[in-house]
Structure 1
């Protein structure tokens, strides 16, 4: 789902930039509750989790691969605005340091995975869970369905962006200038991968974490749902520290991240120009715009996460998580300095009342 540079026209990228700037600005405003409180580590963990989980490529029957994003889970725990910030940070680090997704098209990738995914996932989750108790199985199902629908909505958005390029931007003879895929090709290819495989992975991942937190740390589920009823039996349990558990999970994911290399092939629409099957798409040559912009950003630290080496893949995961932590800390510091210490009610996705066990969140 990571669109590389050259596959979207500069005009398309400009449109998404104009659309995303106010979204990022509003997201920064709305997460002031997070960055001015003990929840900063959770935002950093969310961004790092999204970064690492996107390194795990899952094989698709057509020979390509796809991956989960984790944006729905972050939205459920911290709110969709925090999900937008966390996933945007992960995507930015992937583009700048590892060449996973383009820099020019970063706003488009952010729109798909940091806006469409978390907001759709959160909306479906809220619709299905309604006022069910935080420990209800209904919330597990709602989280799974929300994550599944959110990821597929993001995939559909990317498919449409790809598929419109040949019709909107082409030479006089009809040859495409950028992505050569038409809607009849992009929608089936993208939706097969995400409806059948990646969406299922996203759903299982989200449901598993929600189910675990229902047993181990219900107050963490209550950060973004303070008015939801909570069963007495769960309140009396000793919560597990989310920061410690999250760090342990990230370490495990980083160590096993080379498993993502086992999936053969690449994701649809992410081929380098030299790997593009010209005959398959009835092309006589690589589209000129694609060839021109594909190497726009040539300053990646570890291109392709080290180009296939297991230890380089692990190093990429560690470096990415470290940079994300530093960036989130810098963002939190900057917003505190810019906005002052007060948190206004309008900045919150929900009223900030995390009762019964809130103190455990800082452990």
Structure 2
């Protein structure tokens, strides 16, 4: 759903840029409360994983494909504020390096794909957890529904932006019907990917899943008829070492998976246009689309310039993209985490 330059007029793009900047500022502050020494390294990995999976377009209808947006996945794994930052890092890397999503439309894309998907998904997720049993299966089920609804919500947001600042004269009703219809189907794929990923992480390290934090309760003992917190185990000093080892193994496994997906599996992704591209072509809202400012980038269109072998070119571009995204994301979240550590106790409250 990457919006190219020329779909939305300059005034609307400027307003969304201001909205996106404000949301990112709020998210940076909120992420300080979400990130700790366990989740900060995971956040950079989540951004890289989203980048990799977004390269895997899957067919959803005749001549149409879809791909992960990632807002729900990021929000559930590392928190809603950090989730907005994760998806924004991905969009920034894609726009600058791979000519995917217009640079003047960056505010539109962050508003639509990072903010709307994350806010809607996390609101639905938290609402479902209030009525479902407090189990890991409930977290996985809630993540499925939240991700499913976040994608058509993003399509509605795009339609509203197009109604305000669209550059072509096309019936909004036709755009809305086409966008919502195809993105409901894409949402099913988004939901499956999100639920499988959340379920996999929660199976091995539930303490690293932000959305499952309320499931982690300390051991209670009944003393004279009153429940009290159990004292820490004598083996507790060794627990952090084991946890660090486990986190390291999870991080390496996640990075290796992202590299394989982007560097190899992406070659077999659907070549059909995604939902927005298909609707734009069919309804004629792409007639004023502009060439990307980074069209001559060495990595434009997810291929390495001057590498003639398509498989090798795409694979190298995917690996480079994962590497750049994990470094950029990790740097951002390390800085946010360090800023939290530098705050005074009164500021931290």
Please report the TM-score for the alignment, with normalisation by the length of structure 1. Answer: 0.77
The question of 1:256 aligning with 2:254 is answered no
* 1:42-121 correspondence to structure 2 within 5 Å: 42-121=42-121
Specify the alignment match of 2:326 in structure 1.
325
Q: Is 1:187 matched with 2:182? A: no
Residues 43 and 333 of structure 2 are in contact (CA less than 8 Å); yes or no, is this contact kept in structure 1?
Answer: no
State the SS of the aligned residue for 1:101. coil
Q: Which residue of 1 aligns with 2:274?
A: 267
TM-fit CA distance, 1:75: 0.4
- 1:172 matched to which residue of 2? none
Task: Quote the offset at 1:180 in angstroms.
Answer: 5.0
Q: 2:59 & 2:318 partners in 1: Cα distance?
A: 20
Instruction: Report if aligned partners of 1:98, 1:302 keep a CA contact under 8 Å in 2.
Output: yes
Assess, with a 3 A threshold, how the Cα gap between structure 1 residues 331 and 195 changes in structure 2: closer, same or farther. same
- CA pair 336-244 structure 1, distance change in 2 beyond 3 A: closer
Aligned to 1:361: none
Q: Give ranges in structure 2 of 5+ residues lacking alignment.
A: 220-241
**What is the aligned partner in structure 2 of residue 246 from structure 1?**
254
Q: Distance in 1 between matches of 2:33 and 2:2?
A: 30
Q: Distance in 2 between matches of 1:92 and 1:34?
A: 22
Q: Is the 8 A contact 2:299 2:317 kept in 1?
A: yes
Q: Aligned-pair distance for 1:302?
A: 1.7
Q: CA deviation at 1:84?
A: 0.3
Give the TM-score normalised by structure 2: 0.80
Cα distance between partner residues in 2 of 1:226 and 1:345:
24
- 2:204 aligns with 216
**SS state of the match for residue 213, structure 2?**
coil
Where does residue 12 of structure 1 map in the other structure? 12
Distance change in 2, residues 1:181/1:28 (3 Å): same
Q: Distance in 1 between matches of 2:74 and 2:176?
A: 26
For 1:16-31, what aligned pairs fall within 5 Å after superposition? 16-31=16-31
Distance change in 2, residues 1:325/1:210 (3 Å): closer
Distance 1:60 1:333, change over 3 A: closer
Aligned to 2:316: 315
Alignment partner of 1:44: what SS?
helix
